[in-house]
Amino acid sequence: MTKEKKCATCPFRAKYENNPKSFVGRLWRWHINFCPGWKDYFLSLSTEEKIAVADKYNFTKYINRG
């Protein structure tokens, strides 16, 4: 059975999307830089989805645009 990735529906991520400058939003954005769950989620996305997510969150880790 495949484990569902909860990053797509994370309540902290929703807080960031509603108000990126909120404490919880900033904490979530900082957290994704080293979270193993986010890495697993991010790497499971298609190339197009990775680019969209990386652009949306200004996230440059784990993506090769060369």
Within-domain flag for 2: no
Within-domain flag for 31: yes
Within-domain flag for 65: no
pLDDT digits (tens, 9 = 90+) for 22-35: 999 999 999 999 99
Within-domain flag for 63: no
In sequence order, what are the residues at sequence separation of 6 or more whose Cβ sits closer than 8 angstroms to the Cβ of residue 50?
42, 62, 63
Q: Which domain holds residue 28?
A: 10-57
pLDDT digits (tens, 9 = 90+) for 6-62: 898 999 999 999 999 999 999 999 999 999 999 999 999 999 999 999 999 999 988
Tokens, residue 8: 């797509």
* Domains identified in the chain, total number: 1
In sequence order, what are the residues at sequence separation of 6 or more whose Cβ sits closer than 8 angstroms to the Cβ of residue 29?
16, 20, 57
pLDDT confidence of residue 63? 82
Within-domain flag for 66: no
Within-domain flag for 4: no
pLDDT confidence of residue 1? 42
Within-domain flag for 64: no
pTM of the model: 0.83
